[in-house]
Amino acid sequence: MISLFFYAFIVSITILMVVIFLTHKYQLFIDKSDTIKPQNFHTDNTPRAGGIGVLGGLIFVSTLTLGFQFLLSIFVAFLSGIFEDFHNSLSPKLRLVLQVFTALSAIFLTNAVVTYLGLGITMPYWVGVIFSVFAIVGMMNAINIIDGFNGLASGIILLILTSFALTSYKTGDHQILSIISIAAGSTFGFFILNFPKGKIFLGDGGAYLLGFVVATIGIMLASNYADVSPWYIIAVFIYPVWEVIFSIIRKLTIGLSPLSPDAYHMHMLIYRQITKNNPLTTLFILTTTAPFIAYATFVHNQSKTNMLISCTFIICYVLLYYYLYKKDRRSP
C-alpha cells in the first residue's frame, strides 16, 4: 500500500511541476489575479489545472481488479470540469449531465450502491441507485464549492481518505485500501504544491474528480460491509456536504439562485473575520473539522453516534456562521 501511495505521489507531483511550467509559458488554464469574482484570494496569476496531476497519479488504479471500470468513471469526472477550466465552455446543464453519467458509470461498473441506511432502514435497489447518483454528484459539487483557499479542498480530501483507509484496513478490504492509497498519493502530490504558496490550483476538473473518488469509495464501503454505517460516511463528509446544503438554504431565503456565486461561504467569513490569511484559513478549518472525522472513524459501525456527530457539527457550524456573519455585516 505504501508503494502505491509513493508511486502515485511521484507521478502526480512530476506531472504538476511540468504543468506549472507549461501553463505559465503558454498561458493555459491561468486563473488571473485581477479577475473580479467572490473567491479570488490570490495575488499571482496561477494555473488551475491541478486535476491533471491528480488524474495522472490515479492511473495506478488500472493495476487493480476494479481498475479499468473505475478509471473510466474517473476520466469522465475529470472531463466534466476541465473544459470549464480551459474555456468556461460547458453550460451548467451539460456539466450536470456529465456528472450524472459519471455517477451512473461508477454505480454499474463497480456496483457501488447504497441500499441500507442504518437503523433497520432498507431501500429498494432502484431507489438506492437514485440516492447514490445524488450522493456522488452532490459530493463532486461540494468539493468544488469549498475549494476556495490553498490546500482546503485537498486537505479535507486527505482527512477523508485517511479515515477511509483506517476503516478499510479494519474490514480487511485490501482492494479498497489500494484505491485509497493511490488517491491519497495523487492528492498529496497536489497538496504540497498548493499549500501554503498556491503554485497551482485544483480547478473544477480536479475538484469534481476528487469529490467523485471519495464519494464512490464511501459508497463502496457502506454497501459492501454491514458494520460500516452509512451515517459514518455522512459524518466524515459533513463539512462539504453541510456547506452545500446550508448555502442552498441561505441563498433561497434571500431570493438568490443556489447556483449564483457570492462571498458568504463559511471559509470566506473565517478569512475576513478571523484569520485574514489564506493558508491560515485552511489550517483553521482542517483543525476544527479533523476531530469530527476522527471520532466518526472510531465509531464507524454506530449509526446513532455518527448521527449525533453530524448534528453536533451542524450546530457548531450554524452558531459560528451567524456570529461571523453579523460581525462581517458590521465591518466597514
Stated pTM of the model: 0.93
Contacts of 26 (CB under 8 A, 6+ apart): none
Rounded CA gap, 249 and 317, in Å? 14
**Cell for 58?**
490515479
**Residue 32, pLDDT score:** 56
Phi, psi of 145 (to 5 degrees): -65, -40
Phi, psi of 46 (to 5 degrees): -130, 135
pLDDT more than 70, % of the chain:
91
In angstroms, the first-to-last Cα distance of the chain is 52
Per mean pLDDT, which of 74-83, 301-310, 323-332 is the most reliable? 301-310
**Residue 181, pLDDT score:** 94
**Residue 79, pLDDT score:** 83
Among 14-28, 192-206, 283-297, 302-316, where is mean pLDDT lowest? 14-28
pLDDT tens per residue, range 30-71: 655 545 454 555 456 778 788 899 999 998 887 776 677 788
Q: 254: buried, middle or exposed (CB in 10 Å: 19+, 13-18, 0-12)?
A: exposed
**Residue 95, pLDDT score:** 81
DSSP H helices in the chain: 2-26, 50-57, 67-87, 92-110, 125-146, 152-171, 174-194, 203-224, 230-236, 238-253, 266-270, 278-298, 303-330
pLDDT tens per residue, range 135-159: 999 999 999 999 989 999 999 999 9
